[in-house]
A and B are shown apart, each in its own frame.
Chain A
Amino acid sequence: MRFLEGVEENFRFMVLEVTKQVENTLKVVENPDPALVAKIESRDDYIDNLKSVIENKCFSRIHTGFGGDKRAIDLARAVNIITSNLERLADHAVNIVMQSQYLRDPHFIKRYEYKAFFAEITKALRLVVKALYNQDITLAFKICRAEVTLDALFKANFDVILKDLRKGESPENCITAHNIFRYLERMGDTILNIGEAIIFAAVGEKFKIHQYEALKETLGELGREVPISDGEFHSIWGTRSGCRIGKVEGARQGARTSGVLFKEGNAEKLRCETENIRRWEAIMPGLPPKVQAFHVDGDSASMLMEYLGGCTYQEVVLSGAPEIAANATFILEQTVRQLWQETRTDRTVKAGYVKQLTQRLDDVYRMHPSFRTPAMEMTGVPVAGFEALLERTAELEALFEAPFSVFIHGDFNINNIVYNHEEQRIHYIDLHRSKDTDFVQDVSVFLISNFRMPVLDSLLRTRLDDVMKEFLSFSRAFAVENGDATFEVRLTLGLTRSFITSSRFEFNHRFAKEMFHRGVYLMRKLDAYRQSGKPWEGFTLPDDVLIY
């Protein structure tokens, strides 16, 4: 624990002192001794000071930034959170000591299960140092569990106190006993915070214990051991689209399954995803990850999915050897072609690109207020305002529909495609938006997910250009083969949508503006073509729009 130097000793003392306070509090509860009461009170000042010392050190360390070492910063944050919760726990100990003096009969409390509270609290406190220093999630989990036990104890004792009150026991004694238990129960809350802070230090993310509960239950339904006792919990992507995703690795190493992926989030969304996965599995076995368990708890749900080996197509394109990248593209196109052909239904559909754009426009403006552009005129050349242009595009879009529908991925980003080199195959992940609609939706999302990579290096940029060019000509060929005469117009609309809405995720204002302007450019092209009165079959997407 190099980065804890100078804090480590204080921290050990802090835990030790607080544990001692709790033990002494138990002694006072069992046998009120004025000398011990005084000692507890004076130790509380010491604990407060210790907390300030640790807090100062942690903040100065966080402030200096450890040279960007995130783990060290996380640890300093965790130490600070734990310390303030320990201090609060110690305050509750003093509160209990104060309360116990109001017991008319000092032995009254002994009719209740007070010992169990103290045992649970000291047991948890003894794990704190080891759990934090070893970043041991299993121990942290045990610490968190103390809160559940303490809550249960509180409820049980509360019921007994109520019964005693009804029987006519002394209200002073009963209420004082209740107050004491209430403080013990609150100690549980601080312990939970401590456990969660240790998990934070270990996985580098705020993780609520109920998410672990969800994971445990999900695994339990699967008839598996809780992996965090023998395996490791990796938080890989954190929160994406409202779901928390983490990877659980067991000791077992397999070719395909090197672990399971744990997802927790909105029940409806996850249910939708499992439904889609089932359908993809029926269409092309092995394409999606396997769902290994699904658990619903009210509005939220958790699921375990097979963790697919290999790397994302994005990684292959940006860092793979050129021949591997070319091969991945080849296999991807083969797979996509097969899926489009097999799920093709002769039913016309409208993807509603302008509507999709409009729904996200507020977010675009929120991020880049200057994109709200009014109509202008420059030395006699009129320039349409953005929203007027969008309205005209909506009218234009109404004239077109896709001649057939296919089952699309729905979020066909290059990082939602997994390429397994050993097995020479493609997998789809993140499937909660799959549906039967215009295949152009997937084509435009795919193209823009390449375009918007924040890569300026000319070699890497050329790789992205090549992927886009290749995929565009592949999609064009598919359109021609399938007699899709309005492909180019719909693609232009789809790209307009993707260019403009992508800017809402782009913090780099210059690049965001570049994408936004390209979307506007495409709308102007469509508008000008419409005014020319030429037949739409002759319209072609200006390919250059994809070259940055």
Chain B
Amino acid sequence: MDKKDKQGLPAREGKFSYEAVEDAASLAKYLQALTDGFASGSMRFSRKDLDMELCPEGLIGFAVEAKAKDGRMKLALKFAWRESVEAKEPKNDTLAIVPGADGEKV
């Protein structure tokens, strides 16, 4: 389960999904919010056990898929990008072997 960050900062990992039936008018609200998110460089997704922020920046992969068959239509939009997460290199990544007596904690 995703937990909110201790300092109240949004999480940088997690998974959020939402599915619904909407009409075009109510859909516009969500699309507008996403557009705003791209413009401002921040999108926040939250529910009671998750508060996650995506900050689209740099290059953004973009895919559109539209399908029509037997009167059943489908439009899929997909965005993908990379964000810098603070992946810290361990400060001291050399293996240290410390001499010590058997059975003793070192």
0/1 string, B18-47, CB within 8 A of A gives 1: 111111001001100110110000011111
Q: Chain A residue with minimal CB distance to B53?
A: A379
**Contacting residues, chain B, for A514 (C-beta < 8 A):** 21
**CA distance in complex: A313, B22 (Å):** 32
**Contacting residues, chain A, for B16 (C-beta < 8 A):** 376, 378
Contact, CB under 8 Å: A521 / B20: yes
**Contacting residues, chain A, for B21 (C-beta < 8 A):** 514, 517-518, 520-521, 545
Contact, CB under 8 Å: A513 / B33: no
Q: For B48, give its contact among A375, A517, A542 (CB under 8 Å).
A: A375
Q: Chain A residue with minimal CB distance to B46?
A: A377
**CA distance in complex: A379, B35 (Å):** 10
Contact, CB under 8 Å: B22 / A380: no
Q: Chain A residue with minimal CB distance to B71?
A: A458
The distance from the CB of B18 to the nearest CB of chain A, in whole angstroms, is 6
**Contacting residues, chain A, for B18 (C-beta < 8 A):** 376, 378, 383
Contact, CB under 8 Å: A380 / B33: yes
Given contacts A520-B20, A521-B21, A542-B23, contact A381 B44 (CB under 8 A): no
**Contacting residues, chain B, for A542 (C-beta < 8 A):** 23
Contact, CB under 8 Å: B19 / A381: no
**Contacting residues, chain A, for B48 (C-beta < 8 A):** 374-375
Contact, CB under 8 Å: B47 / A376: yes
Given contacts A458-B70, A517-B21, A518-B21, contact A379 B47 (CB under 8 A): no
Contact, CB under 8 Å: B45 / A378: yes
Contact, CB under 8 Å: B20 / A379: no
Contact, CB under 8 Å: A379 / B23: no
**CA distance in complex: A542, B25 (Å):** 12
Given contacts A378-B33, A379-B36, A381-B29, contact A517 B19 (CB under 8 A): yes
**Residues A483-501 near B (CB distance < 8 A):** none
**CA distance in complex: A538, B66 (Å):** 36
**CA distance in complex: A240, B31 (Å):** 46
**CA distance in complex: A360, B36 (Å):** 40
0/1 string, A513-529, CB within 8 A of B gives 1: 11001101100100000
Point out which of B16, B19, B37, B71 has the most chain A C-beta atoms below 10 A from its C-beta: B19
Q: Chain B residue with minimal CB distance to A382?
A: B46
Point out which of A374, A379, A513 has the most chain B C-beta atoms below 10 A from its C-beta: A379
**CA distance in complex: A67, B46 (Å):** 51
**CA distance in complex: A542, B47 (Å):** 29
Contact, CB under 8 Å: A378 / B20: no
The reply on A544 being an interface residue by CB < 8 A is yes
**Residues A362-381 near B (CB distance < 8 A):** 374-381
Given contacts A514-B21, A520-B21, contact A376 B71 (CB under 8 A): no
Contact, CB under 8 Å: B22 / A379: no
**CA distance in complex: A481, B1 (Å):** 56
Contact, CB under 8 Å: A513 / B46: no
A residues apposed to B, CB below 8 Å: 374-381, 383, 458, 513-514, 517-518, 520-521, 524, 542, 544-545
Can you list 17 contacts pairing A with B, beta carbon distance less than 8 Å? A375-B48, A377-B46, A379-B30, A379-B34, A379-B44, A379-B45, A380-B33, A381-B29, A381-B30, A383-B18, A383-B20, A458-B71, A514-B21, A517-B20, A521-B20, A521-B23, A545-B21
New A-B contacts (12) at CB < 8 Å, excluding given A377-B46, A379-B36, A381-B33: A374-B48, A376-B45, A379-B30, A379-B34, A380-B33, A380-B44, A458-B71, A517-B19, A521-B21, A521-B22, A521-B23, A524-B26
